[in-house]
Amino acid sequence: MKRNQLKRLLAFCGSLMMLSAVTAGLPAFAETDPAEETVTEAEAETPEDSAEDAAEDSEEADGDAADDDETDAAEDETDADAADADVITDENTFIVGKIGYRKLESGREAAVSYVDQNATEVEIPAEAEGFAVTRIDEGAFSQCTVLESVKIPDSVTVIAAGAFYYCFALKSLEIPDSVTEIGSYAFANCYALHSIRLPANLRTIPEYAFYYDIGLEDITIPPATDKIGTQSFAYCCSLRNLSIPASVTTIDDLAFVSCMGIESFAVDKDNPAYASDESGILMNANRTRLVAYPSGLQNESYEVPSTVKSIAPYAFSGAVKLKNVSLPENLEELGDGVFSDCQNLEKITFPCRVSAIPACFFAGCASLKQFSIPKTVTSIAESAFYGCESLTEMLIPESVTEIRAWAFYGCTGLQSLRIPNSVTEIGDHAIGFCPGPAKEDGTTDTEIHSGFLLEGGADSAAKTYASENGIAFKQVGLSSNMITGIIIGGLVLLAAVVMLLLHQRAKKTAPAGAEDAPETVPEPANDPNYTSILEEDEEDPYDRSYGFPTEDPEDTADEAAEPEAEDAAGAASGEDAE
């Protein structure tokens, strides 16, 4: 025992020497030959001193032994305390074992604020260091990726936001009825969580509470719950059936988005706000709004009831079995992404009363081959047809004025698209772009779709878009200058027709006999500026009178009388000669 104590003492002294050497900046030990050291000590010691040294050594050994006993007792006591509880404390926090706590202002209460991320099993005590544990703080268990089980005591009333966020390995959990509040993202991304018991007095299931818990198979909504927040069960792909009690009066949009395993919603018959039809489709009580279509439903076709006037955002998202859908004509409102990721959707009957194709409406509908945009539509929103790679035909009506960013991105089946002149705005990457080849890191660049041709007018937004993005362009229709010329020519022609009609009308209203009056046509020879190409004695071979008299009647009578007078004078001359 004493030998062990001496060894520990020597080790302790060596540590002190090492610390002193390091502090002084000197070598810790000087290497010496053990044999030389033995000889030196022997030479330094005389026989006379041996007895005295022996007595002194005996006394020192007895004293050292007593000191060592006291040190061992203190160390043993410290080890016992550490085994019982490793407590580190300050004014506001303390740690007991693997759990850190935060003192609450309410008095002798504490919250779990930290847990060792290497812990696989944790049992939260109802009391720690005299403080009642009533809360699990934000992110207390976050990133505990190897945590498999947790026991929560009845003293806890609040589980704050993100408390168990990214607990990949957590498999199941029972929350005591003492808990009345759960924060957003509280159990988000717990991939292995397959079952959880919610407390009976829980009023609200907050937003993103179980977001992306892809392994969650079974959950019961408590009878006291009155609200289910947005995306609270989003991407819970393993959920099969979900019962909604009569107490639930608010279900936010996207609460069950992409729950591709849900085959039906069952709403309590006494629920005043919601109902489900014979196929398990979730609607409001008067069936005017379709809230959610069970993505796991095996039907290939569905006709939305004529009572429905609005469809909630992403209501059909992820319904991979659907191939044909018919929407009613009286539909007035469509949310974003209604048919997103309906990968087998081929045909849809679309109403003619809507004014816009909402954002992400058909995003990811890889089997959609053709779609006719109603003539009432004025806007095609962001990513409306994103990734519709089988789409081969698309007619954009003259009513459309804007096509927003990414609207037709990834539509590789479209070899050409004609944009009407009514479109004045085309967003970034809206037309003619698709993902490029995958890189080594898995990412892709955006590139122009090979062989794509954009068609439009000479002065259109389509031509500008094609020029700015290096997309092949074909001009169709007339330019604005040509159209202006046609309009001016048409106006001139119209004016001529009007003048002709006015002239004909004037002739019809002229006095009687005016039409029979001869029209005097001036003889060009009477024009002093007129020079005839005929010789003076040459007669004009053409009759230019056109059947109308060309001279004054009095002049004509005088000219006719002159030959007669000449003939008479000639006759008289002849008689005189005889």
pLDDT (0 to 100) of residue 538: 52
Mean pLDDT of 361-370: 95
Q: Smallest Cα–Cα separation from 145: which of 118, 163, 172, 123?
A: 118
User: Helix 47-84 and helix 2-24: axis angle, to 10°?
Assistant: 90
Residue 235 pLDDT > 90: yes
Residue 374 pLDDT > 50: yes
Q: Please report which residue ranges of 136-257 form alpha helices under DSSP H.
A: none
Residue 142 to residue 117: CA distance in whole angstroms = 8
Tokens of 72: 């061992």
Q: Smallest Cα–Cα separation from 369: which of 349, 343, 388, 341?
A: 388
Share of the chain above pLDDT 70, in %: 71
pLDDT digits (tens, 9 = 90+) for 242-285: 999 999 999 999 999 999 999 999 999 999 999 999 999 999 99
Residue 32 pLDDT > 90: no
Q: Is-contact 128 119, C-beta < 8 A?
A: no
Residue 71 pLDDT > 50: no
List all residues 6 or more positions away from 13 whose beta carbon is below 8 Å from its beta carbon. none
pLDDT digits (tens, 9 = 90+) for 407-462: 999 999 999 999 999 999 999 999 999 998 888 888 888 999 889 999 999 989 99
Share of the chain above pLDDT 90, in %: 61
Predicted confidence band of residue 220 (pLDDT cuts 50, 70, 90): very high
pLDDT (0 to 100) of residue 84: 40
Mean pLDDT of 64-70: 48
CATH number of 86-197: 3.80.10.10
User: Per residue, what are the HEC states of 133-168?
Assistant: EEEECCCCCCCCCCCCEEECCCCCCEECCCCCCCCC
pLDDT digits (tens, 9 = 90+) for 484-495: 777 888 888 888
Largest CA distance in the chain: 219
Q: Among all chains, which residue has been given the structure tokens 């479109």?
A: 423
In three-state secondary structure terms, 487 is helix
Q: Is-contact 221 232, C-beta < 8 A?
A: no
370-372/347-349 β-pairing: unpaired
Mean pLDDT of 56-83: 45
pLDDT (0 to 100) of residue 203: 97
Q: Is-contact 203 183, C-beta < 8 A?
A: no
Mean pLDDT of 476-480: 69
Residue 471 pLDDT > 50: yes
Residue 396 pLDDT > 60: yes
Predicted confidence band of residue 57 (pLDDT cuts 50, 70, 90): very low
Predicted confidence band of residue 219 (pLDDT cuts 50, 70, 90): very high
In three-state secondary structure terms, 425 is strand
Residue 291 pLDDT > 90: yes
Q: Identify the bridge partners of residue 356 per DSSP, sorted by sequence position.
A: 379
pLDDT (0 to 100) of residue 465: 97
Q: Smallest Cα–Cα separation from 261: which of 241, 240, 233, 283?
A: 240
| pTM for this prediction | 0.69
pLDDT (0 to 100) of residue 40: 37
Burial tier of 233 (Cβ tally within 10 Å: 0-12, 13-18, 19+): buried
Least confident interval from 80-84, 147-151, 286-290: 80-84
User: Per residue, what are the HEC states of 38-69?
Assistant: HHHHHHHCCHHHHHHHHHHHHHHHHHHHHHHH
Residue 223 to residue 202: CA distance in whole angstroms = 9
